[in-house]
Amino acid sequence: MAEAPFIFMVAGEESGDQAAAQVVSALKDRWPEARILAVGGARMREAGAEILFDSSELAVMGFAEVVAHLPRLLRRRRQARRFLKKQAPDLFIPVDAPGFNIPLCREARRRGVPVLYYVAPQVWAWGAGRLKAMRRDLTALALILPFEEDWFRARGIEARFVGHPLAGRYEACAADREPTRIGLMPGSRAQELSRHLPVMLEAASLLRAERPELRFSVLETEAISTSIYSGYIDQFEGDVKLFRGDGAGFFGGQDLLWACSGTATLEAALAGLPMVVLYRTGFLSYQLARRLVKLDRIALVNLVAERGIVPELIQGEAEPARLADAMRRLLDDGQARGAQREAFAEIREKLGSLKPGAEVAEMAGRILESP
């Protein structure tokens, strides 16, 4: 192998860009002259990758929603496939986004390009039909959830837990106090914002009517204009603050959270913030998910804990009165808040102190340097 390998990476959406940026930095530390071409975002670019096209174009959630954006997604996948055919990089590192990436893995294998998949497709939840393709096309799998290693190895896939990209990023908040500040984390996609923020704001109105001392803040994402958030907030009475910045800064100003299911729940757990989790999607997407998903819970924080430590309100259950009731229990019950904080400490220990970017770079080195 040349001293400066040529590596192609494809990361899906904002969280994939964040995780992949750590890998880009570690690869550049190992091979300063390496060329890394990527489908990614601003963080990967800052870390030293050349961007083929922006990963925000892949940020679509839900079965029906994917169908609506299918022409664009297929066009971009054809572009990535043509690249693999013509350029033949030394290594392909797909990051998450299995609907987009799994077919690219097959193209890479056909071209003799080894594949190191980072952030595994959640086939243990649904999509087990992908296992055959993964066994055939992947050289190795780098995992961010500890329970996945045994699961994938038992199914014939070379896999290794490398740590979670969020581990070590958040300090646990101060000891519990009388909660008065509630954070709203409606999600990082426009679809999620439209389905979650109005419901959260209505629940906030119900609680504020009983407890005028409560204060509410919404965490913005860089991908969505402030004016869109304001458009929702302006429809409700009372003062709701907007916070544009990183999660750590937001968490430091909150006592409790309503959080959209996803990576945000794990971030909040690492910060030690008790929460109520919710998720709503389109009708068709939900009906399909009910038939395909084989899990009793969906919140990432509950999956890592391997038990239900935070309440989940999904689809029809995620309505204002129920959100208010669940938050009211946390406001009134210090033991319930304490139980969540204890479980969060266990999660911090489970995720360990590994540095996933460096671990993935090490795996890449082993693949590239193997005969």
Residue 306 zone, left/alpha/beta (φ > 0; ψ -120 to 50; rest): left
pLDDT at residue 61 in the model:
45
Is residue 223 domain-shared with residue 297, that is, in the same domain? yes
pLDDT in tens, 306-346: 899 999 999 889 999 999 999 999 999 999 999 999 999 99
Closest by Cα among 9, 81, 48, 18 to 223 = 18
The CB density around residue 172, as the number of other CB atoms within 10 Å, is 15
58-61 contact pairs (CB < 8 A, 24+): 58/12, 58/13, 58/97, 58/100, 59/12, 59/13, 59/14, 59/188, 59/189, 59/223, 60/189, 60/191, 61/189, 61/191, 61/192, 61/281, 61/285
pLDDT at residue 296 in the model:
67
pLDDT in tens, 29-70: 999 999 999 988 899 999 999 998 876 656 544 444 444 455
pLDDT at residue 29 in the model:
96
- Give the pLDDT band (50/70/90) at residue 158: very high
Question: In whole angstroms, what is the distance from residue 248 CA to residue 331 CA?
Answer: 22
Q: Which range in 216-225, 232-241, 316-325 is most confidently predicted, on average pLDDT?
A: 316-325
- Strands 256-260, 240-243: pairing is unpaired
pLDDT at residue 360 in the model:
97
- Give the pLDDT band (50/70/90) at residue 294: low
The verdict on residue 175 lying in a domain is no
The verdict on residue 82 lying in a domain is yes
* Average pLDDT in the chain: 87
Question: Which alpha helices (DSSP H) does the chain contain, by range?
Answer: 13-30, 42-47, 63-68, 70-87, 98-110, 131-137, 148-153, 190-210, 226-233, 247-251, 263-270, 283-292, 300-305, 320-332, 334-351, 356-369
Contact 93, 7 (CB under 8 A): yes
- Give the pLDDT band (50/70/90) at residue 12: confident
pLDDT: which is higher, 237 or 355: 355
Task: CATH number of the domain at 99, please.
Answer: 3.40.50.2000
The verdict on residue 20 lying in a domain is yes
Which residue type does 280 have?
R
11: β partners: 95
The verdict on residue 174 lying in a domain is no
Q: What are the backbone dihedrals phi and psi of residue 246, each rounded to the nearest 5 degrees, phi first?
A: -85, 165
Q: For 148-172, what is the mean pLDDT?
A: 90
The verdict on residue 255 lying in a domain is yes
Instruction: Name the token pair of 280.
Output: 């709503």
pLDDT at residue 63 in the model:
44
The verdict on residue 176 lying in a domain is no
What is the Rg, in whole angstroms, of the alpha carbon atoms belonging to the chain? Answer: 21
pLDDT at residue 363 in the model:
97
The verdict on residue 85 lying in a domain is yes
* Parent domain of 40: 6-165+353-369
Q: Which range in 50-64, 122-136, 224-238 is most confidently predicted, on average pLDDT?
A: 224-238
The string of DSSP letters for 45-104 reads HHHTPEEEEEGGGG---SHHHHHHTHHHHHHHHHHHHHHHHHH--SEEEEES-HHHHHHH
Is residue 205 domain-shared with residue 291, that is, in the same domain? yes
pLDDT at residue 79 in the model:
81
Q: For 122-148, what is the mean pLDDT?
A: 87
pLDDT at residue 290 in the model:
54
